[in-house]
Structure 1
Amino acid sequence: MNDRATTVEGVRRTNLGEVLRLVHHGGPRSRAVITAETGLNRSTVSDLVSRLAEAGLVREHGPDPTRRVGRPSPIVAPSPDVVALGVNPEIDAVEIGAVSLGGAIRLRERIAVDRPGVDEVVELVARTVEVWRTGDLQGCRIVGAGVAVPGLVRTEDGVVRLAPHLQWRDVDIAGPLERSLGMPVVVGNDASFGARAERLFGAAREHGDVVYLNGGASGIGGGLILHGRLIGGEGGYAGEWGQTTASLTDASDRRVDGGVLEDEVNRARLVHAAGLVAPDDAQLAGALSASDDAIAEAGRQRRILAATLGNAVNVLNPSMIVLGGFLGSLRDVDRDAFDDEVRARALAASAENLELASAALGADRLLIGAADAAMQRLLADPLG
């Protein structure tokens, strides 16, 4: 193949990926809108959409009813039969989801298990996917899997350097899972994947500078997006908000001498104060205003969290802060009061355009983010 042919084919692959990425991240849109968004001519877009449809990656249906002038333009939508897997091992369960192109959860399962090891996670995922392949996902194309780990994950090879609550240290889960499933596997920090999901499909879709904090049973993690790019840092470990020193404005709020943020803003403390046993996030959220002990503990944690976020606003000047998991529940006790407190803790200029939100994707955010990471190879070369 000569250089020109190679160049032409490379451009075609890039354009195919751009069109598929548009409908995956942005949702169904007409050929006319794709033409406008890509800057490609109409005949090129028609050819690209036809190729993607032939490959089973997109589907076309009725014309856009709002288009009043000229020939009606068909709507291009991502195929729900192209899926990636999202996996989230936690200290009390392994969650597994099948996520379609477009970011919709097609299937999910939560398997209760106490501090699963790598071998146990691989076995549970393989067993679940085998059932899905002969059942609800029969005939679907599974393009890969993403694993959202509550810990430090090295970017270059996906090795989990440390997941303290799972008691994992320097372990490889990508290799064993790839061999078991027979598909590519990517591994990343759970909160970074949550940030990715909320930026692409959730509360922060319209924002390029985002601070995301996720609160779960294993502690607090987070992600940082600047100018639309997820920031991983030199080794991929950026976003460990839970390990920062807790910001206390009242010394009486301290519960752990020398404690870090996740020692003080802590899901287990809320559960205990609310008098619950193994609640999900929705049950916990409903109990935070139900008793004096729960109200007092939620108030203490809200003060510490607001002070921490005020520092983040001063350092990073985000346009959006998104709180996931039990952190979103803390904000939701009184959203206006919490948001005002965060702004009061920050410089006025840094906070003047700041928005805060609880995670829009709820319990799906980590699975969607992990699955989207697994989609990237397909999006880079849809027909490869």
Structure 2
Amino acid sequence: MSIAPGTAELVRRANLARTLVAVHRDGPLSRAALTADLGLNRSTIGALTAELTRLGLVTETAGAAEGRIGRPSPVITAHADVVAVAVNPEVDAVTVAAVGLDRSVRARRRVPSTGLIAPDELALLVAATVREWRGSELAAASVVGIGVAVPGLVHPAAGRVVHAPHLRWTDAPLADLVGTATGIATTVGNDASYGAHAEYLFGAARGETDVVYLNGGASGIGGGLVVGDVLVGGARGLAGEFGHNPAVFEDAADRRSGERAALEDEVSRHRLVAALGLPAADDDELRSALGASVNPAALEEVHRQRRVLASAVAGAVNVLDPAVVVLGGFLATLVEIDPDGFGAAVARQTIAGSAPLVRSAELGDDRLLVGAAETAFARLLDDPVATMSAVGSTSSTRPDRL
């Protein structure tokens, strides 16, 4: 916020941000709950929610009677028509979604690809998708930002993809490309870090202070770390890249790649799809196919990958001592076949002889998109007034019209 410190306006703007964050992350909330949670008086909360309503960021409805004397406290809900567009390019498809400030997925599209998409092609695809949605699903919406979740090394502050090996992108100014094509402020980050952030805020790791997150996608295995309530990026943004660690085997017979194989060489969605005899599959299709398969070779591949993954998780537990390990993408599918058995395999290889909670990502296929959207919402959540003013100044009709 560019307000002189110590002024009443700074305090008001800060309290607006606190109120919006609370409703976005915990809502819907009653005015009474906001009063208690934020430590502000009722009249201040009333003024703040009225301002957020005027800005079009929340809605206010009558609360339900709870058997107490007096009028029910109004309920404040983040507005579904304030949206961020989330994008996840992968080697086999590009997924685009519109995520509301209330965390609802307003629109979603998966565009399969037969070849690798280039950064400038991705920018044009996103622009065309948003333009189409503005005439249909998002006709009444305000788009406040775009977040792109990339499977690779990213410099978030510069909006630049340093290296995404599976997409074959190097030094790509992706935020500039997408922002120019759409006219919408764009952020770019690592997909697994976005997934970790989303699960920490809204999913399987909510309320935990120390978390290991592993994400399995078409490009391989990435990860994210939360240590002491802080999302850890590392000196170069590479923290949590478990997929590049050497694979470890309890049984040497489980090795399928060379002596220097990485975890993602051995635990691979591509290997699972091939074992099932499928030409391609997204996570839902893979889950369904594995559940229905009676092919001994496919089932053995599943159990082999579970054993290798358990060793990798145990190694992470021994180093980081998390309270919970969250697995997303096809890794969750592997574990869900027998969660107790997987937990026992991890515990057998940990120092303490016990394992932390191992959970599947609660946000499912939306985890990376919700994380990307959360980053796109960051400016708005930090300063609602300045952001909505900036968004409104870009168009005389609708701020995000292309």
TM score, norm. by length of structure 1? 0.95
Q: How far apart, CA to CA, are the structure 2 residues paired with 1:144 and 1:222? A: 24
**Residues 144-187 of structure 1: per-residue CA shift (max 9 Å, x gap):** 00000000101331211111110001111100111111121110
AA matched with 2:287: A
Q: How far apart, CA to CA, are the structure 2 residues paired with 1:345 and 1:10? A: 52
Shift of 1:23: 0.9
In the superposition, relative to structure 1, how do residues 295 and 59 fare at CA in structure 2: closer, same or farther (>3 Å)?
Answer: same
Q: State yes or no: 1:172 paired with 2:176.
A: no
Shift of 1:5: 8.5
**Equivalent of 1:318, from 322, 332, 341?**
322
In the superposition, relative to structure 1, how do residues 14 and 336 fare at CA in structure 2: closer, same or farther (>3 Å)?
Answer: same
Q: For residue 204 of structure 1, what is the aligned residue in structure 2? A: 205
AA matched with 1:234: A
Q: For residue 364 of structure 1, what is the aligned residue in structure 2? A: 366
Shift of 1:6: 6.0
Q: State yes or no: 1:118 paired with 2:112.
A: no
Shift of 1:328: 0.3
Q: How far apart, CA to CA, are the structure 2 residues paired with 1:67 and 1:222? A: 47
AA matched with 1:39: G
Q: State yes or no: 1:133 paired with 2:134.
A: yes
Structure 1: 4+ residue segments shifted above 4 A: 3-6
Q: For residue 100 of structure 2, what is the aligned residue in structure 1? A: 100
TM score, norm. by length of structure 2? 0.91
AA matched with 2:271: R
* RMSD between superposed Cα atoms in Å: 1.6
Q: For residue 44 of structure 1, what is the aligned residue in structure 2? A: 44
AA matched with 2:296: D
**Residues 179-225 of structure 1: per-residue CA shift (max 9 Å, x gap):** 11112111000111111111112111122211111001100001111
Q: State yes or no: 1:33 paired with 2:33.
A: yes
Q: How far apart, CA to CA, are the structure 1 residues paired with 2:202 and 2:314? A: 26
Q: For residue 62 of structure 1, what is the aligned residue in structure 2? A: 62
In the superposition, relative to structure 1, how do residues 124 and 171 fare at CA in structure 2: closer, same or farther (>3 Å)?
Answer: same
**Residues 297-338 of structure 1: per-residue CA shift (max 9 Å, x gap):** 111110111111111111111111111110000001111111
Q: For residue 339 of structure 1, what is the aligned residue in structure 2? A: 343
Partner-residue secondary structure (3-state), 1:288:
helix
Alignment of 1:290-329 (within 5 A): 290=293, 291-329=295-333
**Residues 231-254 of structure 1: per-residue CA shift (max 9 Å, x gap):** 111222212111011111111111
Q: For residue 147 of structure 2, what is the aligned residue in structure 1? A: 146
Q: Is the 8 A contact 2:156 2:187 kept in 1?
A: no
Q: For residue 261 of structure 1, what is the aligned residue in structure 2? A: 263
Q: Is the 8 A contact 1:288 1:333 kept in 2?
A: no
Q: Is the 8 A contact 1:313 1:350 kept in 2?
A: no
Q: For residue 382 of structure 1, what is the aligned residue in structure 2? A: 384
Alignment of 1:240-279 (within 5 A): 240-257=241-258, 258-279=260-281
AA matched with 2:331: L
Q: State yes or no: 1:285 paired with 2:287.
A: yes
Q: Is the 8 A contact 2:159 2:176 kept in 1?
A: no
Q: Is the 8 A contact 1:86 1:97 kept in 2?
A: yes
Q: How far apart, CA to CA, are the structure 2 residues paired with 1:103 and 1:337? A: 33
Partner-residue secondary structure (3-state), 1:383:
helix
AA matched with 1:144: G
Q: For residue 89 of structure 2, what is the aligned residue in structure 1? A: 89
Partner-residue secondary structure (3-state), 1:83:
strand
Partner-residue secondary structure (3-state), 1:230:
strand
Q: How far apart, CA to CA, are the structure 1 residues paired with 2:126 and 2:238? A: 25
Q: Is the 8 A contact 1:197 1:368 kept in 2?
A: yes
**Residues 120-151 of structure 1: per-residue CA shift (max 9 Å, x gap):** 10111000101111222112110000000000
Shift of 1:4: 7.7
Shift of 1:57: 0.3
Partner-residue secondary structure (3-state), 1:242:
helix
Partner-residue secondary structure (3-state), 2:303:
helix
Shift of 1:227: 2.2
Q: Is the 8 A contact 1:103 1:372 kept in 2?
A: no
Q: How far apart, CA to CA, are the structure 2 residues paired with 1:303 and 1:282? A: 22
AA matched with 1:356: V
Partner-residue secondary structure (3-state), 1:348:
coil
Q: How far apart, CA to CA, are the structure 1 residues paired with 2:227 and 2:281? A: 34
What are the ranges of 5 or more consecutive residues in structure 2 without an aligned counterpart? 387-402
Partner-residue secondary structure (3-state), 1:208:
coil
Q: For residue 224 of structure 1, what is the aligned residue in structure 2? A: 225
Partner-residue secondary structure (3-state), 2:240:
coil
In the superposition, relative to structure 1, how do residues 67 and 181 fare at CA in structure 2: closer, same or farther (>3 Å)?
Answer: farther
Q: Is the 8 A contact 2:66 2:72 kept in 1?
A: no
Partner-residue secondary structure (3-state), 1:135:
coil
Q: For residue 80 of structure 1, what is the aligned residue in structure 2? A: 80
Partner-residue secondary structure (3-state), 1:161:
strand
Q: How far apart, CA to CA, are the structure 1 residues paired with 2:379 and 2:338? A: 42
